[in-house]
Amino acid sequence: MTAHTFVLVPGAWHGAWCYRRVVDILEAAGHKVYALSLTGLADRSHLASDAVNLDTHIADVVNLVKWEDLHDIVLVGHSYAGVVLGGAAEEIADRVKSIVFLDAFMPEAGKSMVDISPREVPSTGNLTPYSAAGMKVNQADQAWVDSLVTPQPVNTYVQPLGEASAYLTIPKKTFVRTTFPSAGWQDSYDQYTADPDWTTYLVESGHDIMVDQPAELARILIEVA
């Protein structure tokens, strides 16, 4: 068996904790896994401030890869983290052999998350998390997820992304779609399903696929590594 290196980036309001089940499965299979919490969230929520923006989260990913001296990685991003991956790839695309977007917002140069997915945001402070029920998390895990999501620094949502084209040069590109209802993610899934440069999957799951379907997600990640 070939051992792979995975870097798992959570979406808005989440932290490394959401990937715990996936990490356990991948590590038990002999792979090296880095799941990180972005600045201001989860175990790093004590760092939340208006100084935390999209560039901060991009640097979180880039610096992990550089300081751990990682190469030939599988880079995985959920939801909001799709935008983060697009920015990070501008600096580390040569270290990534496979990039995976999980029900993700796709990076668009010059656009912020508010541009991509419009919502009312405060001028300062944090964004309130959506509920686990609203994200269609399975009932058994809803209370657990609700207890761990944290508010997200607003400037991560309003700062526009810079360049975002290097991710397209990564040899393997995958989009994983859940059955969570969303026209935007469905459009991306349809687009990439028709594109021979991409691999796509459709999984019966709420938006938090790593919580609802950890074994299936781990299987997919190994398959596209």
Q: Give the Cα-Cα-Cα angle 158, 35, 195 (nearest 5 degrees).
A: 70
**CA distance to 64, 121, 187, 222, per residue, from 61 (Å):** 5, 25, 27, 21
pLDDT in tens, 45-70: 999 999 999 999 999 999 999 999 99
> For this structure, is 79 an active site residue?
yes
Q: Helix crossing, 54-67 with 81-92: angle to 10°?
A: 50
Domains along the chain with CATH numbers: 5-224 (3.40.50.1820)
pTM attached to this predicted model: 0.98
pLDDT at 35 over 90: yes
Instruction: Express each pLDDT in 85-133 by its tens digit.
Output: 999 999 999 999 999 999 999 999 999 999 999 999 999 999 999 999 9
Residue-averaged pLDDT of the chain: 98
Q: For 217, what's the count of Cα atoms within 13 Å in the CB-facing half-sphere? A: 32
Residue with the two structure tokens 């895990």: 141
Tell me which of 37, 49, 79, 131 is the catalytic residue.
79
SS3 content of the chain, % helix, strand, coil (to 5): 45, 15, 40
The mean pLDDT value for 2-9 works out to 98
